[in-house]
């Protein structure tokens, strides 16, 4: 999974202008992020129509503020540069919750 370089919202939207993406907001110190990480390979396989990109909250704190991502782990889907849905809160997320969220985007 690619890790997003440090950038602002305008730069990010330009990078995501073509295609379907799932941004996975996380941090190394976050126990709830570590909880969902083992499920990510199977989620990525199930939703292969998306390119998954990790966003390190600590490295991209300004971007997170611009996007109003105040809790992690969180997920935002972009389709052709536009936000298509978000699963953003500070709660622990299960594989089933992430799969349900992604199924409801399609």
Query: Which residues are identified as catalytic?
Result: 30, 33
Q: Compute CA distances 93 → 33, 52, 86, 90, 104, whole Å.
A: 8, 17, 13, 9, 16
Check if the beta carbon of residue 72 is closer than 8 Å to that of residue 32: yes
Helix, strand or coil, per DSSP, at residue 82: strand
Rounded CA-CA distance 52/24 in Å is 7
CA–centroid distance for 20 within its chain: 12
């Amino acid at each position: 999974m690619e890790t997003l370089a440090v950038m602002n919202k305008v730069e990010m939207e330009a990078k995501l202008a073509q295609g379907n993406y799932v941004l996975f907001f996380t941090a190394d110190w976050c126990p709830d992020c570590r909880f969902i990480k083992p499920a990510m390979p199977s989620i990525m396989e199930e939703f292969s129509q998306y390119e998954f990109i990790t966003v390190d909250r600590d490295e991209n704190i300004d971007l997170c503020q611009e996007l109003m991502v105040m809790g992690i782990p969180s997920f935002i889907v972009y389709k052709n540069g536009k936000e298509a849905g978000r699963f953003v809160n500070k709660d622990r997320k299960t594989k089933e919750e992430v799969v349900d969220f992604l199924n409801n985007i399609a």
